[in-house]
Structure 1
Amino acid sequence: MTQYLNHNFLIAMPKMDDPHFQHSVIYIAEHDEKGAFGFVLNKPINMNMQMLMQQADIETQLDDNQNLRYGGPVGQDQAFVLYKPSVDHSANLFNPDIALSNSMETLKSIAFGLGPFEYISCLGYAGWTENQLEEEIAENIWLCVEADSKLIWDSPIEDLRKHALKKLKIDESMLSEIGGNC
């Protein structure tokens, strides 16, 4: 029986050579028999929310210089908002602390100061086909640990990987590029 990794972090091992995912921490939003998808949380891009609103032709007084994050290589023309749910904004709720939307209504709500107020915006997402993620984990490409909402909302982006590894009681300097199986 497959163990699904909903609400888990994937932490790229040092041997990860795909530039999309090197040194990444990915929040797995959904994982089932058809595949998985999630968002790289620790790679900022050179675009902020004001710039996104401008591209979407949304007028805003928003003074948010928070950089968007590179969510992954799939759907690079789509903006996704992971947020702390306090009101429903056409969201998929992944757990009580994390919701997801890619609706224009959510962007407009943020632009007009109506919430959500705690959020992370990503361009694109990471996706895996049926059994692909399980195979990559078996190849020692990823470490897995239950996601911690506090880390998502409170960790500085540059420290997220270190804090996620700490949940596994691993110091990054102790990781090896050489994997092995017993």
Structure 2
Amino acid sequence: MQSFQNHFLIAMPALDDPMFKRSVTYVCEHNDEGAMGIVINHPLDVKVADLLKQLQIEFNTDSPAATAHVCAGGPVQHDRGFVLHTAKEGYSSSMHLNNELMVTTSKDILFDLTTEHAPEKFILALGYAGWTAGQLEQEIADNSWLVIPADNSIIFDLTHAEKWQSATATFGIKTWQLTSEAGHA
């Protein structure tokens, strides 16, 4: 089985589910039991400061991180937070995704997000995308997704609006060149 861990799933134009339309999903885990990923480009109308305030966590209002939008990470457990961030040790529930990237699900990271102790770069998402065994592979075969190796600059250095087109451009094609039709030889 080919693993798509550390890859992006780029939604094809025909994928019109509101949660995934024009989405870029970072695949955190993929094995024979299924897959888990975080949509990195669908901002909610909620800022990091709003979430911290709701959780009664003190924060630095002058920090640029406080004004960052929280993302809709996917339809599963949309009340649970996931922080996709550059590597920084010390949180109680973190998983290394590669040498430069981690995901943390424990609340302790939230106390650092607007301080000098924060990871260099991060995205805070509510929820995740999940697939059962074989489901993601079938969706790829059905032409729902383009798959490319993940690129941290797309995750962290672009606006949410730029991510889908930029990820697609890594194929050397323009988004208007994509078709909603699938063919299999």
Bin for the TM-score computed over the shorter chain? over 0.9
The question of 1:95 aligning with 2:98 is answered: yes
Equivalent in the alignment of 1:81: 83
Equivalent in the alignment of 2:140: 137
Which among 147, 150, 155 is matched to residue 147 of structure 1? 150
Q: Which amino acid aligns with 2:85?
A: Y
Whole-Å separation in 2 of the counterparts to 1:147 and 1:42: 14
Whole-Å separation in 1 of the counterparts to 2:11 and 2:2: 19
Equivalent in the alignment of 2:183: 180
The offset of 1:150, in angstroms, is: 1.8
Equivalent in the alignment of 1:156: 159
Equivalent in the alignment of 1:31: 30
Equivalent in the alignment of 2:46: 47
Q: Secondary structure at the match of 1:106?
A: helix
- How many pairs align? 181
Q: 1:112 to 1:153 in 2, by over 3 A?
A: closer
1:30-77, CA deviations, whole angstroms, 9 ceiling, x for partnerless residues? Answer: 000010011111111000111111111212224311001110000110
TM-score w.r.t. length of structure 1: 0.94
Q: Which amino acid aligns with 1:81?
A: V
Contact kept? 1:53, 1:111, Cα under 8 Å: no
The offset of 1:20, in angstroms, is: 1.1
1:83-141, CA deviations, whole angstroms, 9 ceiling, x for partnerless residues? Answer: 11133323211011211111111111224542123110001110001111011111111
Gaps of 5+ in 2: none
Q: Secondary structure at the match of 2:113?
A: helix
Gaps of 5+ in 1: none
Equivalent in the alignment of 2:69: 67
